[in-house]
Structure 1
Amino acid sequence: MFSFCSDPATLEGIQWYSCYLTTGKHLAFYMSFGTVLLLLAVTAPAALLFGFGGAMAARARFTPLSWLGKIYISVVRGVPDIAFFLFFVIALDQGIEYLRHKVKCPDWDEPIRQGSDFLVCSIAKMPLGDAPQWLHEAYGFSLAVLTFAIVFGAFAANVLFGAMQAVPHAQIETAAAYGLSHRQTFWRILVPQMWTYALPGLSNLWMVLIKATPLLFLLGVEDIVFWARELGGSKTAKFTAYPHPDWRMWYFLGLLVFYLVFTRVSELVLDRITTRLAHGQATVDGEAQRKAA
């Protein structure tokens, strides 16, 4: 980046560090923090949407739909996250390519499964082999977001289902006495009141989601863990222009500080949201606010 960085072998002290920390690989490392934040920004509402749908299905009056919602909650929550991530991403990717293969290459006469290999015609690849690099990265990121949303959506569904059950039944009976339909009662009475019961569980789930973002590394996305390992290592041929000892401990220490600061900020924001939602509610926080007033 700087003019004096043309010959790293001649650099010492602050100049060496200034050039080392502004290489293209380090800029990619800094940008990977944005990848993590983008993942959280997209996955959180997507997981909440999956969770709300799962909770609604689990409490549905239609028995098969109720079973479907409860099976989704139980099965996904019962499978270890790493196993589900590794299985689902591969299965989804191969499923998409298999469907494209059947449509685009109907005359293909070779078996798709050949031992441990999964072979489809070149035009069925997803994305195509000659696609730009950003498209490959966007596709991998999209698979990661969908997987995160499904996994954490099951946990959110369990939290929201319990929160719906926690709303006092007298509220539902009062709504029925006033002539509200089942749908009106659900959207006007149950849903607005359930959030104060759901927020503690959702807050904990948000913290778990933050800590789960290093799983991006397992899905092939170049996240902060990937770059911390690559840049901190001392035997990676890519970075021989700036040789150094094994600095992985310091890189991972930086990630530790990042996650601690981010979770602390999240705690402060969630505490304010909890206080606001508890206002006027028949909860411990709501009673404390009334007594303080």
Structure 2
Amino acid sequence: MFAFCTDPESLGTLRWLACYLTTGKHMSFYAAFGTVLTLLAITAPTALAFGFAGAAAARSRVLPVSILGKGYIAVVRGVPDIAFFLFFVIALDQGFEWIRHQALCPDWTEAVRQGNDFVVCPEAKLPLGNAPQWMHEIYGFFLAVLTFAIVFGAFAANVLFGAMRAVPQAQIETAEAYGMSRRQAFWRILVPQMWIYALPGLSNLWMVLIKATPLLFLLGVEDIVYWARELGGAKTARFTDYPHGDWRMWYFLALLVFYLAFTRVSEIVLERLTVRLSHGQATAQGEAQRKAGA
């Protein structure tokens, strides 16, 4: 906050606005943009790892593993996202606490399930009751990342499973005929080629993931949607030094611009990545590159 912000009522319009936009709550609002970007930076590779594991499992010749992979894809894709987001946060939190409860409190005699209540010993709580606020926030963010990764990992698994099937089977058979094991053919032939087939679906999934970040608000994380609603609501002089009317439209307009700009940058990066991955591939894009270089 600037030095001239000591008396907001005596400020002109520009100085008042400068002071208003540099309050502690606005700094939290700006930091929330970093929270969203951090979520995307962590969730995207984690979801891709879940997706790759799910696709590989669905493709397995071992029946139980194949059923597990296909079941993961089918169940998560068949249920509305918001239901899973709300379910996984509660289920993961209680699951972690139950495991800690079994390990740390073996002499506990009371039932963990007591009607609608889930009761574990104080030592098993996550975070502990006396933990600082930042630990509660990090734990909530961790649960949100894991939930996003599980849900979007299922969609990524479906995309990668289709991409694996799009690679010509003759190439796999040829590799095995030349002495490669099934595992070698998978990592050296199938995986390098599948990305060009998977990229369109993964690109759409990335856009959906970006648009799903406002669900952090429903998961209890103070994200940009939370602060836009909090700061944009009408404020009177009784509750703040900077009273104003209902400005939520302007705050959400700022979020609209942010998301549009971010998705546009993503489109440019993905287009360049598609061109790079198409080089030398037996696709329409790869054929166009070969003709252009001829």
* TM-score for both structures, normalised by structure 2: 0.96
Post-superposition offset of 1:154: 0.4
Report if the CA contact (8 A) 1:112-1:118 is conserved. yes
1:3 Cα deviation from its structure 2 partner: 1.2
Matched, 1:85 2:85: yes
CA-CA distance at 1:238 after TM superposition:
9.4
Q: Which moved more, 1:170-179 or 1:231-240?
A: 231-240
2:180 equivalent in structure 1: 180
Task: Give the Cα–Cα distance (whole angstroms) in 2 for the partners of residues 111 and 198 of structure 1.
Answer: 48
1:233 aligns with 2:233: yes
Deviates further, 8-17 or 139-148:
8-17
Distance 1:69 1:107 in 2: 38
Superposed CA offset, 1:36-64 (max 9, x none): 00000000000000000000000001111
**Contact 2:237–2:243, Cα closer than 8 Å, also in 1:** no
Equivalent residue, structure 1, for 2:166:
166
4+ runs of 1 displaced by more than 4 Å?
Answer: 235-239
Write out per-residue CA displacement over residues 214-237 of structure 1, whole angstroms, 9 at most, x where no aligned residue: 011011001000000000001589
Describe the superposition over 1:207-262 as per-residue Cα deviations: whole angstroms up to 9, x where unpaired: 00000000110110010000000000015899522110000000000000000000
My pick for the range that moved more, 44-53 or 1-10, is 1-10
Alpha carbons of 1:238 and 1:207: their partners in 2 closer, same or farther (altered >3 Å)?
A: farther
Point out the more displaced range, 3-12 or 243-252.
Answer: 3-12
Matched letter for residue 206 of structure 2: W
Contact 2:232 / 2:247 at 8 angstroms: preserved in 1?
yes
Match in the other structure for 2:39: 39
Tell me which amino acid in the other structure corresponds to 1:189: I
Q: Which residue of 1 aligns with 2:61?
A: 61
Q: Contact conserved, 1:230 with 1:236, CA < 8 A, in 2?
A: no
C-alpha separation between the residues in 2 aligned to 1:238 and 1:51?
51
Q: Percent identity?
A: 77
Alpha-carbon shift at residue 129 of structure 1 (Å): 1.3
192-201 vs 105-114, which moves further: 105-114
Whole-angstrom distance in 1 between the partners of 2:236 and 2:289: 58
Identify the residue that residue 127 of structure 1 maps to in structure 2.
Answer: 127
Distance 1:226 1:90, change over 3 A: same
Paired letter, 2:160: L
Query: What are structure 2's unaligned runs of at least 5 residues?
Result: none
Q: Which residue of 2 aligns with 1:200?
A: 200
* CA RMSD between the two structures: 1.5
Confirm or deny: 8 A CA contact 2:156 2:205 kept in the other structure. Answer: yes
Residue 122 (structure 1) shift = 2.1
Would the alpha carbon gap of residues 49 and 7 (structure 1) be closer, same or farther in structure 2, given more than 3 Å must change? same
- 1:263 and 1:59, CA in 2 relative to 1: closer, same or farther beyond 3 A? same
SS in 2 for 1:219: coil
Amino acid at match of 1:213: T
CA distance in 2, matches of 1:281, 1:138: 43
What pairs with 1:146-161 in structure 2 (closer than 5 Å)? 146-161=146-161
1:105, distance to aligned residue in structure 2 (A): 3.1
